[in-house]
A and B are shown apart, each in its own frame.
Chain A
Amino acid sequence: MPKEKEVQNLSEVTVRFAGDSGDGMQLTGSQFSDTTALMGNDLSTLPDYPAEIRAPIGTVYGVSGFQLHFSSSDIHTPGDRPDILVAMNPAAIKKNISELKPGAMIIANIDSFDRKNLQLAKYETNPLEDSSLEGYEVYPVPIGSLTAKALQGTSLSPKEVSRCKNFFALGLMYWLFDRQVDQTVSWIQKKFAKKPEFIEANTNALLAGYNYGENTELFNTRYNVEPAKLPKGTYRSISGNEATALGFLAASVKSKLPLFLGSYPITPASEILQYLSNYKNFGVKTLQAEDEIAGITSAIGAAFAGNLAITTTSGPGLALKTEAIGLALMTELPIVIVDVQRGGPSTGLPTKTEQADLLQAVYGRNGEAPVAVLAASTPSDCFNMAIEASRLAIKYMTPVILLTDGYLANGSEPWKIPHANELPDIPVKFRTEKEGFAPYLRDGNLSRPWVKPGTPGLEHRIGGLEKANISGAVSYDPENHNLMINLRAQKVKNMVNDIPDLTVDGDMEGDILVLGWGGTYGAIKEAVIKAREAGYNVSQAHLKYINPLPKNTEYVLKGFKNVLIPEINLGQLSKIIRSEFLIPVKQLNIVRGLPFRVSDIENKIKEVLGGIA
């Protein structure tokens, strides 16, 4: 008779699923987070892919992890340290043990703790038996054999049965955290529609896991996390890469320009190419080019032909495209270059995150080659910044670099879906008037006319050589070169009057302003909240436009005794702020290929304020 289990209410929980690449931890984690989102919690996820695709089973470098932080209040990061680890094999514990909260729960699939797997995980003795897991709440669960028992009589092979054990674990976690199973049940129906025997097997495994939680004496408490109070509206869970893709699609619709993506497969940006290649019915053209340079140059061709042209890549790709970005800015064509930053330098750490391409984006070209640089702050913010980058590129006839990073790209969060008609139109006006046309005529924003080849009477030539203003004819004239250099720089500076001012959360003056950019927004926000809770007066500001900086930036910074800039690099925004405004700044630089821990920033805030309340 199942004993009545005590239900404990929690404000927030951080869960991590970990197992072999083949164990389907990414699938389990994303199902758990979709269900959690449906139940109204605020959440943030962080997949931790191994570098290999399929490393040999049981090895530590083959461990794939998925971390989910969910809460009844507003949260912004996937959580510093997991409260609970679901470990499908010894290697999963070996890899993740050092990051768990002290006293964290560990649900371990006891079946896989045999000699071979322990050896592969480089354990001399079984951690479940020797006292090495002292201080953790360890729950050994025979997930493998329980799944096999639940699927007796199925037509699946033993190997296929073993592959269902992740649904058992999912079911168990649904019970433990009082989540409904039906969302996953309907998902299984759709996903395995073509293979009914899998539908049955996975559903049974899921329910077996759930019922096991119910009946076993192993667990005596159950947990519940109330829904968060989110603004009214319809939500879905979305990752940064998907939001980026949808943002450009929206920009294409709102500007009535067909979208062209010239790209080349590179981790962690390939998903954007993959998402967009599905939307042929939006007239989207995705060209997987022969290399990164062909990716951007085909996009430049498309921009010249009158399209919303973008190219997506990561650090090494941006390096290869340097010369072509110079061509785009010299020919003053609208193109958006998306850089999903990853651990560098060079090939670096492809599956890890970092923010170390900022100086390359702002300064990294031969000659005076100014380009607008924007940065998204959260996974769903990628949607807005994709639209903003398109708007600025078109309006000012200039290349725009949009920076995101591996953490935003793969992490997901609930997204309040904007209605199509709420999104502002992007005005585009192709020049057709022959009278007085010249390729480098300037309008109020110093933008030159955009002419679609095929327009009779406006035939003209553009190129990488310096050219005379207005006429666009090749010119070596010294004065003209000076004029064009200043004009191209001024055009980017003019955007200052067209972008929002820097907003401050907290007082406009005080002891400390925590200034960040890009993907550190979540960690800084939570750290500031925690510091305030501890009695410190802390203000926060976050930059989404780095070239040009918002026009009130200096004014805001001058209001504070200390400006603290946390960055996942050796101080690149700090360098820009110092050279622009000659203001001393405090730096927090951690370059570990991982997002900031909230505690790192919180401690630094306190340290800067001398630990005084």
Chain B
Amino acid sequence: MKVGKEVLELSDVTVRFAGDSGDGMQLTGTQFTNTTALVGNDLSTLPDYPAEIRAPVGTTYGVSGFQLHFSSSDIQTPGDSPDILVAMNPAALKVNVKDLKHNAAIIININSFDARNLKLAGYDTNPLEDGSLEGYNVVQVPLSQQTSKALEDSGLSAKEISRCKNFFALGMMYWLYSRPIEPTLKWIKDKFKDTPLLAAANEKALLAGYYFGENTELFTTRYQVEPAKLPKGIYRNISGNEALAIGFVTASVKSGLPLFLGSYPITPASDILHELSKHKNFGVRTFQAEDEIAAITSAIGAAFSGALAITTTSGPGVALKTEAIGLAVMTELPLIIIDVQRGGPSTGLPTKTEQSDLQQAINGRNGEAPVVVIAACTPADCFNMALEAARLATKYMVPVLYLSDGYIANGSEPWKIPEPDSIPGIEVKFRTEKEGFAPYMRDENLARPWAIPGTAGLEHRIGGLEKSNVSGNVSYDPENHEFMVRLRAQKVKNIENDIPELEVTGDIDADVLVIGWGGTYGSITEAVSRARRNGGRVAQAHFKYLNPFPKNTGEVLNKYKHIICAELNMGQLAKFLKSEYLVDIDSFTKIQGLPFKSSEIEKKIETVIGGYSK
């Protein structure tokens, strides 16, 4: 007898799926996200991969997690702490329980709470019995058993059946949050079209989970999150790495330049290589080189011969490419180096996020070797900054260092897809005119001409040695060297007139300004809006251009009595701003391989403002 379930309206929810690497939590999370997006909620996701690929089943370092924050209003982060945890085994509970809100719901796959799994998870006593889960609203679901019951006659082996339990969990969550199951059913049909048995089994498990939610007494309430009021348009859910990849394909089309990617596999940037390898029909050439240095130097070769040349890597890769970036500076070629930052230093924490490569990006080369440095601030923004990087590199004939990070690279959010013809063209013109050509003559932007091999009459040589302006012949002349050092610096400085000014939002005339750069945009924006909602007066500004800084930066900073700079490093942007503008900065830093919680930043704002003037 189905008992009438009460439906509760929620403004926003944070869900976390966690289980063994083999339990398919990333797949379950992604499906729930896509369906939630279709329903029209605003959302933000944060996968939490373990370092191992497949750690032994049931161990804590093998736990793979996927967090999703969805809401009926505009949200910026994947949520500080989950309202509900789906734990497929004891290890998942052990790893995640400390992050949950204190009264969070925990859906437990009771079938896996046997002695062996408890021991593997490092539990001496069973948490379900020893009172340690006091205060949490624990729901014990016989998930494995229900799944195998539903798939009794599916013709699959016991192991294959057990692998379908994630769809059961998904179905149950769809019921719990009134989500439609059709999108996932369609996806299963397409995904498992060559293995009909598996397709049927997964469908059955999904439905079984959904009906279980409906019929069981375990759940008394059901939840509902209204669609958010997003600007009109067509949306898709996109991760940072994916947005960056198609951003560069777009830049290739918009500039008429063939895209060349020289890359080498490195976590967390490899997905860009994977994505771009698919787009051969755009003439995209992806070259997996023998090492990081060959990756960037092959891209330099492609830039010299007229391609839109990019190289993608993470912190350790940028370290290896330092010498070659110097060569790109000296040869003044349009090359884009993408650094998806990760926990450092050295090999550091490959699957964790951090923002500690800024100083390396701006200062990390021998000699005076200025490079344009920009940073994307959200997963979708990675698309826009790809176009911006291509525009600046080709217009000023200068290498551009594009900073992303593991958090926005793997996290995803709804993206309002721009119409192709609404995207501005990137005007590129190769020099073909023989008359008066010299490899280092300058246009009004101090850019030298891009004369590509194959153009008759413009044969010339470039290289890493200092050269005389205009002619480009090797020169050791002292005066010329000084002239060229200052010219290369001026060319980058001039770009401040071609990038947007630093925009201040919130209470512009407040005393306190909160600033940040790159991937912290979401957490800071949420913290500031919450602080203002609670009566605090605070302004906010976010940096996407780190070298050169926007022209009005000094002017903006000097307007505020107290500047809080929130960064996932030991204060690298703060150091630059102090050096550049001699303005005092209150560095608020966190270096734990994790993104900021907006509550952490909000607490900092509160202490600085001295409690809210209610």
B213 close to A (CB within 8 Å): no
* B466 and A343 form a contact (CB under 8 A): yes
Q: Is B418 an interface residue (CB 8 A)?
A: no
B315 CB contact (under 8 Å) in A360, A366, A582, A594: A366
Q: For A479, what are the chain B residues with a Cβ–Cβ distance below 8 Å?
A: 592
A302 to chain B, nearest CB (A): 18
B575's closest neighbor in chain A, by CB? A579
Q: Does the CB pair A323–B368 fall under 8 Å?
A: no
Question: Is B453 in the interface zone, CB < 8 Å from A?
Answer: no
CB pair B582–A343 under 8 Å, yes or no, is no
Question: Which residues from B are CB-within-8-Å of A457?
Answer: none
| B364 surroundings in chain A (CB, below 8 A) | 322, 359-360, 363-365
Contact, CB under 8 Å: A476 / B366? no
> Does the CB pair A346–B485 fall under 8 Å?
no
10 additional contacts, CB 8 Å, given A345-B329, A367-B354? A323-B319, A345-B326, A345-B369, A367-B348, A367-B357, A465-B346, A485-B570, A489-B570, A569-B368, A593-B476
Interface centre among B341, B356, B359, B367 (most CB of A within 10 A): B367
Task: Find A344's partner among B341, B366, B570 (CB 8 Å cutoff).
Answer: B366
Asked if A327 is at the interface of the complex by the 8 Å CB criterion, the answer is: yes
- Name A570's closest neighbour in chain B (CB-CB): B368
Which residues of A are found within 8 Å of B479, using beta-carbon distances?
592
Q: Is there a chain B Cβ closer than 8 Å to A120's Cβ?
A: no
Q: What are 23 inter-chain pairs, A to B, with CB distance below 8 A?
A: A51-B476, A316-B366, A319-B326, A329-B345, A330-B346, A343-B466, A344-B368, A345-B326, A346-B367, A363-B362, A364-B322, A364-B363, A366-B319, A366-B356, A368-B345, A368-B570, A463-B347, A476-B61, A478-B593, A570-B368, A579-B576, A579-B578, A583-B582
**Complex CA–CA separation, A327 to B362 (angstroms):** 21
Q: In the assembled complex, how far is the CB of residue B267 from the closest CB belonging to chain A, in whole angstroms?
A: 12
Contact check, A465 vs B363: say whether CB atoms are below 8 A apart: no
Q: Is the interface of B mostly helix, strand, loop or mixed?
A: mixed
- Whether B345 pairs with A366 at a CB distance below 8 angstroms is yes
Q: Which stretch (A17-25, A72-80, A350-358, A555-563) binds chain B?
A: A350-358
C-alpha spacing A52/B89, complex, angstroms: 70
Q: With A318-B366, A360-B364, A476-B51 as known contacts, state yes or no: A482 contacts B478, CB within 8 Å.
A: no
B140 within 8 Å of A (CB atoms): no
Chain B residues contacting A594 (CB-CB under 8 Å) are 478
What residues of chain A lie closer than 8 Å to B482, measured between beta carbons? 590-592
**With the chains together, A326 CA to B342 CA distance in Å?**
14
User: Bound state CA distance, A582 and B348, in angstroms?
Assistant: 32
Q: Is B320 an interface residue (CB 8 A)?
A: yes
The interface residues of chain A lying within 8 Å CB-to-CB of B481 are 343, 349, 352, 591-593
| Interface mask (B491-511 → A, CB under 8 Å = 1, otherwise 0) | 000000000000000000000
Q: Taking CB as reference atom, which chain B residue is nearest A579?
A: B579
> B594 within 8 Å of A by Cβ?
yes
Instruction: Give the complex CA separation of A316 and B364 in angstroms.
Output: 11
| Cα of A318 to Cα of B366 in the assembled complex, Å | 7
Let me know if B360 and A366 touch, CB within 8 A: yes
Determine whether the beta carbon of A482 is less than 8 Å from that of B591. Answer: yes
Per-residue interface assignment for chain B, residues 256 to 285, with 1 indicating a CB less than 8 Å from any chain A CB and 0 otherwise: 000000000000000000000000000000
Q: Say whether B458 faces chain A, with CB atoms less than 8 Å apart.
A: no
Is A348 engaged at the interface, CB distance under 8 Å to the other chain?
Answer: yes
Within 8 A of B (CB), among A565-596: 569-570, 575-576, 578-579, 582-584, 590-594
Choose among B315, B331, B488, B592 the residue that contacts A482 (Cβ–Cβ < 8 A): B592
Are the CB atoms of A319 and B347 closer together than 8 Å? no
Q: Which residue of A lies closest to B352 (CB)?
A: A476
Please determine whether A345 and B348 come into contact, CB atoms closer than 8 angstroms: no
Rank and list the top 3 A-B pairs by shortest CB-CB distance, nearest first. Answer: A367-B344, A344-B367, A366-B315
A348 touches B316 (CB 8 A): no
Q: Which residues 202-218 of B have a CB within 8 angstroms of A?
A: none
Give, as a whole number of angstroms, the nearest-CB distance from A457 to chain B: 28
- Judge if A320 is at the interface, Cβ distance under 8 Å: yes
**Residues of B contacting A584 with CB < 8 Å?**
582
- B152 in contact (CB, < 8 A): no
> Hey, which bits of chain A sit against chain B, CB under 8 A?
51, 61, 314-316, 318-320, 322-323, 326-327, 329-330, 339, 341, 343-352, 354, 356-357, 359-360, 362-369, 463-466, 474, 476, 478-479, 481-482, 485-486, 489, 569-570, 575-576, 578-579, 582-584, 590-594
Inter-chain CA distance A318–B369, complex, in Å, is 14
Query: A345-B329, A346-B326 given as contacts; is B366 within 8 A of A357 (CB)?
Result: yes
Interface residues of B in 558-614 (CB under 8 A from A): 569-570, 575-576, 578-580, 582-584, 590-594
Measured between beta carbons, the chain B residues less than 8 angstroms from A363 are 359-360, 362-364
Task: Establish whether residues B465 and A465, one from each chain, have CB atoms under 8 Å apart when the complex forms.
Answer: no
> Could you tell me the distance in whole angstroms from the C-beta of A157 to the nearest C-beta in chain B?
34
Chain A residues near B351 (CB, 8 Å)?
Answer: 476
Best-buried of B320, B463, B488 by chain A (most CB within 10 Å):
B320
Contact A481–B593 (Cβ < 8 Å): yes
Q: When the two chains form their complex, are residues A485 and B591 in contact, meaning their CB atoms are under 8 A apart?
A: yes
- State the CA gap A368–B341 with chains docked (Å): 12
B366 touches A345 (CB 8 A): yes
Whether a CB of chain A sits under 8 angstroms from the CB of B155 is no
A367 to B354, CA, bound (A): 8
Flag whether B151 is at the interface (Cβ < 8 A): no
Evaluate contact between A570 and B489: CB separation under 8 angstroms.
yes
Could you tell me the distance in whole angstroms from the C-beta of A493 to the nearest C-beta in chain B? 11
Q: Is B366's CB under 8 angstroms from A319's CB?
A: yes
Tell yes or no: B446 within 8 A of A by CB. Answer: no
Q: Does B578 lie within 8 Å of A582, measured CB to CB?
A: yes
**Bound Cα distance A351, B474 (Å):** 13
A residues less than 8 Å from B360 (CB atoms): 322, 363-366
Partner of B349, one of A323, A476, A579: A476
Q: Which partner residue on chain A sits nearest B484 by CB separation?
A: A591
Q: Which residue of A lies closest to B328 (CB)?
A: A346
Is B536 close to A, CB under 8 A? no
In the complex, the answer to whether B345 meets A365 with C-beta atoms within 8 Å is: yes
- Whether B464 sits at the interface, judged by CB under 8 Å, is yes
Residues of B within 8 A of A318 (CB): 366
